[in-house]
């Protein structure tokens, strides 16, 4: 089970801490980390040197919590020589490293790290350290840095990784950018495996860079076997959040211990990789997947310094992917909420009716725009288009309240639209949360001669558009009044018009016509022109086509649209 760092830190009880204490040494502090770098044992002397209680240390990542640069800056994992024994399984020692105490002061330390077996049976490392005089250390270069990339180049790559991957909240785009960052700079193969929300594994990308061309190997992508919890193989360990590993084809030559190992044998065989780095992709609270960077055409094998760099890139990718996944989950929840908030249109004999809704491109996929239609007690049909100010969850909540109140008031009697909207205005002004909205309420009724007449009032909303069968258009600008929720007394007016046979009524929200770079008049003219060209298009597809053609590309707002086609009630010639 992958235990989040914060959760692990909170899970230690007093009895745990008593059992997880090492005997003190005379001058040195000591702690033990597991194979993920989390502190699992600590001495009293280490607590005193670090100025941190055991409860603050146990279960936390030692590198993130303690290790700093000489000026107190965060230490990139690619520069952390103290992590190399976790990766190589060997021992290391050094001086001139810096730990951050609990009070924020820096402590210069000499250190030694050596592998050890944990009481649980797994492998970890014992870290011994003691304080050194705090004179400024000489500039420290990362041990084992390859000649092909300077330390400055590596830091520039890490900075570019952070900037590039956090620029998008789309998972697929983040994966594409991650591939472009590592290929061909670090290798000629990149493989990304992701843990799914259902607990499975999917090979999301297998990319190859050769002769300046980047291609994706679709035949090697797809669902993967489950992660074995006890497997010591590198990819299985990475998908469980264990530290990064250097890999070669020989790593997977023995009998496979799991389905994932079989897939890995096939991967090395098909790609021809002779050297690879596999690093876990960690999110804020859990492992997201694993990144593999491999070389087949590039002759040099990966070094430990390369592995540390790939591990740091994967860590930054994990934070970006975590944000992108969270955003996509929010979008799905918002879309579901929106579908439940927007009503089903009634079936009215003789009328053709259709509605469209398009969320804001970069918002939370939910907003305050809505459409509605329902049959009134006297048989007339109510048509509603409205927009609560804002396009977020608060606006959606306000929209639901306003929509439901309007339905209730309209269905209570046979009053003119202006009276109903005036009553709604008073109710909106009394809502607990300040809410302002625009709306058009229309009443569509059949005349005695089988023609159709529209009565409406407009509370600060863009005017409906009437499109006749021959393409003539006009905006219904009468009956206009103040928007809802201002608290300002106003006298609302009603307007009426007879609708020609086979004409189309288009009710829409301002997201269809508003643009930061064009005037409102230009947006309305654009709508009128395209609606005229579509005058005879079936109503079922009319709304979506209008949104595609008219909505400005630079408008970050949602759009609701309601279209009604009037039947041909003219007498047939004999």
What domains does the chain contain, in order, with CATH numbers?
Answer: 5-131 (3.30.450.20), 151-331 (3.30.450.40), 342-565 (3.60.40.10)
Which spans in 365-496 are helix H? 393-410, 417-429
Q: Which of 88, 43, 44, 82 is nearest to 61 (CA)?
A: 82
Question: What tens digit of pLDDT does each residue of 2-31 get?
Answer: 444 444 444 444 444 444 556 666 678 999
In the three-class reduction of DSSP (H, G, I as helix; E, B as strand; rest coil), residue 136 is classed as coil
Instruction: Work out the angle between the directed axes of helices 304-341 and 393-410 (0-180°, nearest 10).
Output: 10
The answer to whether 227 touches 236, Cβ cutoff 8 Å, is yes
Residue 110's H or E segment, with its range, is: strand 106-117
pLDDT band of residue 425 (cuts 50, 70, 90) is very high
Question: What tens digit of pLDDT does each residue of 307-332 get?
Answer: 989 999 999 999 999 888 887 777 77
Tell me the C-alpha distance between 358 and 299, whole Å: 51
What is the model's pLDDT at position 135?
55
Q: Please determine, for residue 475, whether its predicted confidence score (pLDDT) is greater than 80.
A: yes
Q: Which of 219, 200, 202, 230 is nearest to 269 (CA)?
A: 219
pLDDT band of residue 143 (cuts 50, 70, 90) is very low
Model pTM above 0.85: no
What is the model's pLDDT at position 140?
38
DSSP structural state of residue 79: G
Q: Which of 249, 287, 255, 245 is nearest to 270 (CA)?
A: 249
Sheet holding 21-22, edge to edge: 21-22, 39-43, 29-33, 123-131, 106-117, 92-100, 67-68
DSSP letters for 235-289: HHHHHTTPPPEEE-GGGG-S--SSHHHHHHHHHHHHH--SEEEEEEEE-SSSEEE
Distances (CA, A) of 477 to 64, 463, 495, 518, 572: 63, 5, 9, 21, 33
Tell me the C-alpha distance between 391 and 340, whole Å: 17
Poorest-pLDDT segment among 381-395, 491-505, 509-523: 381-395
pLDDT band of residue 82 (cuts 50, 70, 90) is confident
Residues counted in the chain: 574
Tell me the C-alpha distance between 95 and 85, whole Å: 15
What is the model's pLDDT at position 25?
67
What is the model's pLDDT at position 250?
92
Q: Please determine, for residue 117, whether its predicted confidence score (pLDDT) is greater than 90.
A: no
Distances (CA, A) of 153 to 146, 157, 164, 185, 459: 11, 6, 16, 11, 60
Distances (CA, A) of 53 to 30, 59, 109, 389: 14, 12, 19, 50
Tokens of 448: 């005695």
């Amino acid at each position: 089970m992958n235990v989040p760092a914060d959760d692990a830190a909170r899970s230690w009880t007093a009895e745990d801490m008593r059992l997880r204490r090492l005997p003190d040494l005379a001058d040195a502090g000591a702690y033990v980390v597991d194979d993920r770098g989390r502190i699992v044992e600590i001495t009293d002397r280490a607590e005193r040197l670090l100025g941190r209680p055991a409860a603050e240390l146990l279960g936390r990542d030692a590198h993130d919590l303690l290790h700093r640069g000489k000026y107190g800056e965060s230490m990139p994992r690619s520069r952390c020589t103290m992590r190399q024994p976790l990766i190589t399984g060997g021992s290391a020692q050094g001086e001139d490293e810096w730990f951050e105490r609990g009070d924020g002061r820096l402590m210069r330390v000499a250190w030694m790290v050596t592998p050890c077996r944990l009481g649980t049976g797994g492998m970890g490392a014992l870290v011994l350290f003691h304080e050194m005089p705090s004179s400024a250390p000489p500039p420290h270069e990362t041990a084992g840095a390859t000649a092909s990339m300077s330390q400055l180049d590596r830091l520039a790559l890490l900075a570019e990784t952070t900037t590039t991957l956090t620029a998008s909240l789309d998972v697929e785009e983040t994966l594409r950018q991650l591939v472009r960052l590592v290929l061909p700079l670090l290798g000629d193969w990149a493989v990304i495996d992701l843990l799914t929300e259902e607990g499975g594994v999917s090979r999301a990308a297998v990319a190859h860079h050769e002769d300046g061309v980047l291609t994706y190997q679709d035949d090697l992508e797809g669902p993967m076997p489950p992660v074995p919890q006890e497997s010591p193989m590198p990819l299985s360990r990475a998908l469980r959040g264990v530290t990064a590993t250097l890999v070669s084809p020989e790593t997977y030559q023995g009998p496979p211990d799991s389905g994932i190992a079989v897939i890995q044998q096939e991967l090395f065989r098909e790609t021809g990789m002779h050297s690879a780095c596999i690093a876990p992709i960690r999110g804020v609270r859990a492992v997201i997947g694993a990144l593999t960077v491999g070389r087949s055409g590039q002759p040099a094998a990966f070094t430990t310094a390369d592995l540390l760099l790939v591990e740091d890139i994967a860590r930054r990718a994990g934070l970006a992917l975590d944000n992108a996944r969270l955003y996509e989950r929010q979008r799905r929840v918002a879309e579901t909420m929106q579908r439940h908030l927007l009503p089903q249109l009634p079936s009215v004999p003789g009328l053709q009716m259709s509605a469209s809704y398009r969320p804001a491109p970069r918002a939370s996929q939910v907003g305050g725009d809505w459409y509605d239609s329902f049959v009134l007690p006297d048989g007339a049909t109510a048509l509603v288009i409205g927009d609560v100010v804002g396009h977020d969850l608060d606006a959606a909540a306000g929209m639901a309240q306003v929509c439901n109140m309007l339905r209730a008031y309209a269905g209570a009697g046979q009053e003119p639209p202006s009276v109903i909207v005036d009553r709604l205005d008073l109710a909106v002004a009394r809502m607990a949360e300040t809410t302002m909205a625009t709306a058009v309420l229309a009443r569509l009724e059949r005349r005695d001669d089988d023609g159709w007449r529209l009565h409406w009032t407009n509370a600060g909303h863009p005017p409906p558009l009437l499109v006749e069968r021959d393409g003539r258009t006009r905006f219904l600008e009468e009956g206009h009044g103040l928007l809802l929720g201002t608290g300002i007394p106003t006298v609302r007016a009603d307007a009426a018009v007879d609708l020609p046979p086979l004409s189309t009524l288009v009710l829409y929200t301002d997201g269809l016509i508003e643009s930061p770079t064009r005037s409102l008049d230009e947006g309305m003219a654009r709508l009128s022109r395209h609606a005229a060209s579509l005058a005879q298009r079936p109503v079922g597809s009319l709304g979506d086509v209008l949104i595609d053609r008219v909505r400005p590309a630079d408008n970050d707002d949602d759009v609701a649209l309601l279209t009604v086609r009037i039947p041909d009630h003219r007498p047939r010639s004999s």
